[in-house]
């Protein structure tokens, strides 16, 4: 047997993690995981059916209603979470490498978001829940009595996560859910079929009670059955706006809670007094992060007309200077797209740009690669904000540059979008920059930088979603209020 075959055998995930055990799938369908940089097979994973989802939800329901998890104290949950964090941290290096192979994420970024972030989020929400007042007593209004106000777990959470930051975005949901006392059925994306089961390995190692965390890899149809399953109390979803619309509609029909973190078409606004070097230093996190396969990617660059030609050429040169290559090489700054299907999508948008009135400044091809899903960073100038390239999410390194003549026009163009997730404003006058930032309708925005703060609420406006994750506020998605009307003696 060759070394490649040995590696594949080690990475195969042919069973699901349900009720604390590895169980055989009910169906026979599988997904072959392909390395983004080479096009070679990494491993094979089973795909779940409605029956697998049903088994996972029932296990989560038992753990909450009958098992020990529904009766745990905050201190007990915190202990599990901290040990869970340690177990994931011990696997961080291998997990980071695996995700980079799966989706093309440069290894330095993967080490931060897939290696370090999951453990950090568990520790953060372990601290958050200890500072939440879960029960208080107040005088009843208008009557002689007391009201006990409790905050209780929302219940069984169906978490549906995408392929671009698979470990971090899963833990955006799992960590606050566990802290609040919920149980979870996690359905990761087949595009990153292998890495999410690292959660299961760690959960087994620390003795997390059966049914608290269940993981079933599945496609859209089985994922839909998780959304509509009668045993689920809440859906937490990160993914496309199109899928989010359907999930939101179903949750509305079922009177089921949901949080939706969806697509984006964010704008960077470069005012005429901005410092060009500051803007260029921000590009790795504002526009190029994870090969621009990031929902907050500022793919629209709005530039004051008096500085437009200068900035267009600077962005084009910055794009030419990027090191496109294997994401496991620390020198690589732009890796491949996550899949051949996604590569075709991105190349399709480049063709849209070529056939519009926009001007291709640099890029537009696949570079000197004979395998893997690579695309050159691509810059289009003179893009009208009504063009398809300015209005639709590409989810790859394709950037649309548009001039403006005043701060008011910049705000108008930035807000003339169906999305509102990220963005940034650049100005030598920080107060001016803050003033413009406050006027842009988006869930997150930076002034002279864009760096996601895991300790602050994150989410979108308009078609970019409903609700907020992260920060102390993120725990609110997983707690319900209950009022108990009690005798006045409880006030003493």
* pLDDT at residue 11, rounded to an integer: 85
Q: In this predicted model, what pLDDT tens digit does every residue of 101-115 receive, in sequence order?
A: 999 999 999 999 999
Q: Is 21 a catalytic residue?
A: no
Q: Which of the four pLDDT bands, split at 50, 70 and 90, describes residue 7? A: very low
pLDDT per position as a tens digit, 237-284:
999 999 999 999 999 999 999 999 999 999 999 999 999 999 999 999
User: CA 106 from chain center: how many Å?
Assistant: 17
Q: For 399-428, how does the pLDDT look when each residue is reduced to its tens digit (9 = 90+)?
A: 999 999 999 999 999 999 999 999 999 999
**Which residues share a beta bridge with 30?**
46
Query: What pLDDT does residue 2 have?
Result: 31
> Does residue 478 contact residue 153 with C-beta atoms inside 8 Å?
yes
Q: What is the pLDDT of residue 10?
A: 67
Cβ–Cβ under 8 Å, residues 275 and 445: no
Grade residue 447 by pLDDT with cuts at 50, 70 and 90.
very high
Instruction: Quote the crossing angle between the two packed helices 166-180 and 197-206, to the nearest 10°.
Output: 40
pLDDT band of residue 6 (cuts 50, 70, 90) is: very low
Domains of the chain: 3-262+466-483 (3.40.605.10), 267-453 (3.40.309.10)
Give the per-residue pLDDT at 311: 98
Indicate which residue of 261, 376, 393, 469 is catalytic: 261
Q: Average pLDDT, whole number, for the chain?
A: 96
Is the confidence at residue 389, as pLDDT, over 50? yes
The least confident of 1-10, 15-24, 217-226, 348-357 is 1-10
Contact 128, 475 (CB under 8 A): yes
SS3 content of the chain, % helix, strand, coil (to 5): 45, 20, 35
User: Which residue shows structure tokens 């008011």?
Assistant: 408
**CA triplet 467, 471, 476: central angle to 5 degrees?**
50
Range 457-466 average pLDDT: 98
Q: What is the number of helices (H) and of strands (E) in the chain?
A: 16, 22
Q: What is the CA radius of gyration of the chain?
A: 24
């Amino acid at each position: 047997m060759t070394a490649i075959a040995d590696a594949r055998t080690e990475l195969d995930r042919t069973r699901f993690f349900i009720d604390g055990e590895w169980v055989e799938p009910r169906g026979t369908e599988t997904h072959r995981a392909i390395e983004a940089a080479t096009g070679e097979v990494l491993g094979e994973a089973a795909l779940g059916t409605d029956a697998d989802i049903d088994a996972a939800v029932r296990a989560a329901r038992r753990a909450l209603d009958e098992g020990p998890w529904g009766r745990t104290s905050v201190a007990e949950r915190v202990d599990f979470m901290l040990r869970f964090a340690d177990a994931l941290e011990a696997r961080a290096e291998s997990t980071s490498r695996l995700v980079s192979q799966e989706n093309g994420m440069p290894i330095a970024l993967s080490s931060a978001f897939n290696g370090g972030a999951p453990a950090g989020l568990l520790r953060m929400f372990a601290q958050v829940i200890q500072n939440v007042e879960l029960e208080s007593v107040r005088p009843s209004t208008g009557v002689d009595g007391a009201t006990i106000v409790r905050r209780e777990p929302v219940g069984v959470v169906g978490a549906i996560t995408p392929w671009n930051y698979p470990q971090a975005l899963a833990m955006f949901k799992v960590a606050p859910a566990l802290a609040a006392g919920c149980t979870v059925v996690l359905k990761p994306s087949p595009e990153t079929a292998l890495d999410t089961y690292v959660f299961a390995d760690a959960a087994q190692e620390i003795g997390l009670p059966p049914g608290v965390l269940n993981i079933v890899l599945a496609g859209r149809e089985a994922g839909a059955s998780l959304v509509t399953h009668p045993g689920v109390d809440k859906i937490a979803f990160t993914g496309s706006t199109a899928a989010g619309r359907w999930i939101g509609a179903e949750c509305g029909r079922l009177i089921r809670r949901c949080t939706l973190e969806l697509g984006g078409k964010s704008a960077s606004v470069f005012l005429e007094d901005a410092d060009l070097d500051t803007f260029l230093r921000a590009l790795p996190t504002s526009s190029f992060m994870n090969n621009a396969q990031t929902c907050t990617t500022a793919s629209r660059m709005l530039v004051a007309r008096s500085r437009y030609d200068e900035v267009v050429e600077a962005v084009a040169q910055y794009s030419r200077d990027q090191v496109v290559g294997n994401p496991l090489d620390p020198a690589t700054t732009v890796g491949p797209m996550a899949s051949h299907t996604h590569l075709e999508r991105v190349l399709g948008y480049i063709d849209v740009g070529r056939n519009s009135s926009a001007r291709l400044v640099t890029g537009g091809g696949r570079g000197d690669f004979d395998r893997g899903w690579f695309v050159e960073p691509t810059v289009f100038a003179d893009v009208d904000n009504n063009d398809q390239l300015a209005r639709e999410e590409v989810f790859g390194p394709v950037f649309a540059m548009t001039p403006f003549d005043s701060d008011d026009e910049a705000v108008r163009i930035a807000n003339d979008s169906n999305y509102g997730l990220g963005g940034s404003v650049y100005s030598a006058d920080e107060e001016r920059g803050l003033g413009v930032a406050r006027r842009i309708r988006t869930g997150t925005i930076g002034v002279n930088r864009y760096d996601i703060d895991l300790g602050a609420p994150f989410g979108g406006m308009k078609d970019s979603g409903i609700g907020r994750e992260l920060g102390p506020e993120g725990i609110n998605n997983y707690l319900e209020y209950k009022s108990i009307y009690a005798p006045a003696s409880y006030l003493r």
